[in-house]
A and B are shown apart, each in its own frame.
Chain A
Amino acid sequence: MKYMMFVVVDPDAEATPREEDITIEEWLEDVETHGTRVTGDRLRPTSDATTVRISKGEVLVTDGPFTESKEWIAGFDILDCKDLDEAIAIAARHPQANGGKIELRPFWPLGE
């Protein structure tokens, strides 16, 4: 079962250091060892983003998006897990879960 894991930065959230906190390198090593991560990366901030849409029959390109929300998606990982509990356990260990948040979205394969 594949899950898209969005790594979300929330400037309002505060991290409370915990003993079990690990670094992103340790997290990566962990998911590589277990073969639960298909791919993933960081994403440049929305100031480097470009929005493309068709407007009045023409391609409209704009800078952004700049939304009201202060949260932004800072990265993503595609997980391949047995079930949601395994994905939750992996997400909970991600350093950004403490101080930011992680969103898990199951894949919806075309044709299903």
Chain B
Amino acid sequence: MTDDPVRAALAEAATERAAILATLIRVTGDWELAEDCVQDAVERALSAWPVEGVPASPAGWLTTVARHRAIDLLRRRATERAKLQEVALMDEPETSPEDLLRLVFTCCHPALQVEARVALTLRTVAGLSTAEIAHAFLVAEPTMSQRLRRAKGKIAHARIPYRVPAPEQLAERTGGVLAVLYLVFNEGYGRRDGDLAAEALRLSRLLVDLMPSEDEARGLLALLLLQQARRATRFDRNGDLVPMEEQDRSRWDEAMVAEGLWHLRRAGSSGRPPGPYRLQAAIAACHVEAVDAASTDWARIVELYDALAVAQPSPVIELNRAIASGFLNGFEAGLEALDGLDAALTGYYLLPAARGDFLRRLGRSAAARTAYTAALGLAPGETERRLLERRLAEL
């Protein structure tokens, strides 16, 4: 295929492409215009590069073409505002990492709906097409397109600022950005294709590059790496979910594990008490560092969940803590810990599923069957249902 090197060069320039977009938005204040111009530059690259060859600096080429396109469009508008925007562009504004960070924070602004934050981040920072995002989130393309338009409308109308938040807002807003990336990752992690997970990993790396001293951003990167390292073993040949204790640990991605552990250590050297992402990464580290499921350091994991329940109180974390405590203190104790969660987790399939697991391990098949059957009725998707059905068949 003749256009392979072209696509590769474009993929390589993905971050720069987002940076160009970010800079055009800063200079013109016009999201639509900036997006059109960058899109136009990419399309021209797709037709020009196969003929003329990939330029020495693909990013530089894209920047120039996008900028000229913007100047063209602004000239045609012939308004006062457009003239000012055009003048700003004539100065050849430099793209900078700071611009990209502005773009990230604006896309993840808390005044936007969570779904819109996710979509906007994937569209502008990750450079996915509206169709790709719609497909990934199982919504119709016009719905996704409207969601994006609404979000951009609100940014303009409510004047959501295009900047990195002030120091007093930074910690909270960074947490918001990390939450968006983790959401994207989890959306992809539950599926076999995993494109979204890889994209979230890429964005999380980018964020660490942009904010190297943010230990929670690095904690998230560590967490994603340590989870993604197990990717090849999470599903079997039939596409069925493989529980961690049955995964073939020799097939976990060693390089990713090493990188994840490195980032976790580096985040720890900040001297700050660990936040939710560092804690979750530390839990993931306990799992990948155990040579087999039996030698998992459950005492440490329970300790980490205790800290996590303080840093980010949630019934799901309590559930995970209860499961870990069952492995540490015995399954009877685990069942007791689960009993306390019924009210908070009504309708959540993992609670009866966890109960079924403990009962199965205790050899109480009839009670396990009841619990698994309850979980089956609540399971959100086909993969989860198949695992529960397998458990039922094994009883």
A interface with B by C-beta (< 8 Å): 1, 82-85, 88-89, 104, 106, 108
Contact = CB atoms under 8 A, between A and B. Distances in A.
A108 to B, nearest CB: 7
A84 B158 contact: yes
| Best-surrounded residue of B109, B161, B165, B166 (most CB of chain A within 10 A) | B161
A88 B161 CA distance: 11
A85 B166 contact: yes
B169 interface: yes
Nearest to A2: B159
Contact of A108 (B109, B157, B166, B169): B157
B157 A88 contact: no
B157 A83 contact: no
12 contacts: A82-B161, A83-B160, A83-B161, A84-B109, A84-B111, A84-B158, A84-B160, A84-B161, A85-B161, A85-B169, A89-B169, A106-B157
A106 B161 CA distance: 13
Contacts of B161: 82-85
A106 B166 CA distance: 21
A102 to B, nearest CB: 13
Given A84-B161, A85-B166, A88-B111, 4 more contacts: A84-B159, A104-B158, A106-B158, A106-B159
Interface string B230-261: 00000000000000000000000000000000
Interface residues of B, number: 10
A109 B31 CA distance: 21
Nearest to A81: B159
Contacts, number: 23
A85 B157 contact: no
Contacts of B159: 1, 83-84, 106
A104 B111 CA distance: 10
A108 B111 CA distance: 18
A68 B160 CA distance: 32
Interface string B150-180: 0000000111110001100100000000000
Contacts of A108: 157
A73 to B, nearest CB: 19
Interface string B90-129: 0000000000000000000101000000000000000000
Interface in B187-222: none
B254 to A, nearest CB: 44
A44 to B, nearest CB: 29
Nearest to B160: A84
A82 B159 CA distance: 8
Nearest to B166: A85
Contacts of A83: 159-161
A3 to B, nearest CB: 8
A61 B165 CA distance: 48
Nearest to B111: A84
B129 to A, nearest CB: 28
| Best-surrounded residue of A85, A88, A89, A106 (most CB of chain B within 10 A) | A85
| Best-surrounded residue of A1, A84, A89 (most CB of chain B within 10 A) | A84
A1 B161 CA distance: 11
Contacts of B158: 84, 104, 106
Nearest to A85: B161
A13 B171 CA distance: 26
Contacts of A1: 159
Contacts of B165: 85
- The 4 residue pairs across chains A and B that have the minimum distance between CB atoms: A83-B161, A106-B158, A83-B159, A1-B159
Contacts of B160: 83-85
A89 B165 CA distance: 12
A85 B111 CA distance: 9
| Best-surrounded residue of B111, B157, B159 (most CB of chain A within 10 A) | B159
Contacts of A89: 169
Nearest to B157: A106
A15 to B, nearest CB: 20
Interface string B62-102: 00000000000000000000000000000000000000000
